[in-house]
Amino acid sequence: MASRIEILNEGGYRSDGRRQYELRSITIDLTPQGTADGSALITHGLTQVLVSVFGPREAKMRRETLHDRANVNVEVGVAPFSTGERRRRGRGDKRILEFASTIKSTFEPVIQTTLYPRSQIDIYIQILQQDGSVLPACINGTTLALITAGVPLLDFICCISGGVHSTHPLLDLTTLEENDVPSVSVGVMPKTGRVVLVSLETRLHVDRFEEVCRVAWEAGKVLHGEMRKAVRERTGGLVDAMGGVAGAGGAGRGGPGEGDGDERMVDY
């Protein structure tokens, strides 16, 4: 019955009550997960992604080390329960490998890898729930996890998906909408406004492409505000905690370092 739902009805509402340019509710949780150096749990509506970052650290396999910069390794796992239909995807699944490689190539130029020669940065992404815009959620989660891990970045990468229904652009698509309308994911570096990722897997009319991209680009900046707020909040918490236990010193491994990194990043 999926086709029985109107993507954008006469009143200008989408099937979940949003209007064209409204993004879904975003929650960001930056609490440390396990032994990861930085982690982020991000939800876009019902899409939920957990990203853990390890490193920079010595590469497990010698042959993967690069003498002049750090090697970025991205692995994506899709929880079988994340989709409507329970389905197990193996690690060799081509679709997932492609997905991981997209994320890797998006972040490689943004991470300042040259600061860490002969080391490795591992990014593990777990997709816990899927309801459209999975790639943007992964990108945004990875940005946040890298920041919490204290990995120096040139800028945030804020990614959002956009689509076209008839002639109307839509932002932040759900699964339902992704199945129906052509969609494009756009990742931007909000400070400079540079676009680092455009991913288009469906056919989109060339006349509409520019408009959608522009709207998604704008939306990236709005998203940036939200992400920055979360980072600031967390860092503020850490700073407060440091102040509270002043003198205890070296409370958590790399804790202050992370804070510094964050502050620097934000004030870039």
Partner 1 sequence: MVNITIRKRPQTDAVITQRKFFKKTARGKVIKGKERYLRDDVSCGIQGCTACPDSARNTLPAAGDLAHNLFPNGHFLLPDTNVFLSQMDLIESNLFTSPIILLQTVLEEVRHRSLPLHNRLKALITADDKQVWVFYNEFRSETAIVRDEDETPNDRNDRGIRKGTAWYGTHITLSHRPIRGQPSRPSPKVVLLTDDAANRRKAEQEGLTCLSVRKYVEGMKEATQLLDLLSAAGGDEVEPTRSVAARSALYPEYLPSSTVMAGVKAGQLHQGHFNANQYNYLEGSVSVPAFTKPILLVGRENMNRSVHGDVVAVEVFPESEWKAPADEVVDQETTLKNDDAEDSEEEGEGDEVIDKERKVLGTGEASGRVAAERQPTGRVVGIIKRNWRAYVCHIDSTSLSSTHTTSLSLQTVFATPTSRLLPRIRLRTRQAPTLLSQKILVTIDKWDIASRYPEGHFVRALGKVESKEAEQESLLLEFDVPYRPFGKAILDCLPVEGDKWVVPVKSESSVEWRGREDFREMIICSIDPPGCQDIDDALHARRLPNGNIEAGVHIADVSHFVHPDTPMDSEAAARGTTVYLVDKRIDMLPSLLGTNLCSLRPHVERLAFSVIWELSPDAEIVNVKFTKSVIASKAAFTYEEAQIRKDDPNLHDELTESIRLLNSLAIKLKAGRMAAGALNLASPEVKIQMDSAESSDPIDVEQKQLRETNSLVEEFMLLANISVARRIQETFPQTAVLRRHMPPPRTNFEKLQDILKKRKGLALDVSSSGALAASLDKCIDASEPAFNTLVRIMATRCMLSAEYFCSGSVGRDTFGHYGLATPIYTHFTSPIRRYADVLAHRQLSASIDYTPLHATLHSKPHVERVLEVVNRRHRMAQMAGRASVEFYVGLALKGRKEKQGGQVREDAFVIRTFRNGLGVFVSKLGIEGLVMFKRDIQFDAENYTITIPASLPGTQDVTIAVFDKVVVDIEVEKDKNTQRGRVKMTLASPINSSAM
Footprint of partner 1 on this chain (CB under 8 A)? 1-4, 6-7, 9-11, 13, 15-18, 20-26, 45-46, 83-86, 129, 131, 164-166, 171, 174, 176, 179-182, 202, 205, 215, 218-219, 222-223, 226
Please report how close the Cβ of residue 49 comes to partner 1 at its closest, in angstroms: 16
Residue whose CB is less far from partner 1, 21 or 153: 21
Please report how close the Cβ of residue 101 comes to partner 1 at its closest, in angstroms: 25
Cβ pair 180, 125 in contact under 8 A: no
Cβ pair 206, 184 in contact under 8 A: no
Residue whose CB is less far from partner 1, 8 or 265: 8
Residue whose CB is less far from partner 1, 176 or 242: 176
- Amino acid of residue 245: V
Q: For the sheet containing 47-58, what is the strand order? A: 26-29, 38-44, 47-58, 119-129, 71-78
Please report how close the Cβ of residue 145 comes to partner 1 at its closest, in angstroms: 20
Please report how close the Cβ of residue 15 comes to partner 1 at its closest, in angstroms: 7
Residue whose CB is less far from partner 1, 108 or 226: 226
Cα–Cα distance measured from residue 214 to residue 207, given in angstroms and rounded to the nearest whole number: 12
Cα–Cα distance measured from residue 131 to residue 47, given in angstroms and rounded to the nearest whole number: 5
| 117 burial via Cβ count (<10 Å: 0-12, 13-18, 19+) | middle
Please report how close the Cβ of residue 180 comes to partner 1 at its closest, in angstroms: 4
| 195 burial via Cβ count (<10 Å: 0-12, 13-18, 19+) | middle
Residue whose CB is less far from partner 1, 69 or 165: 165
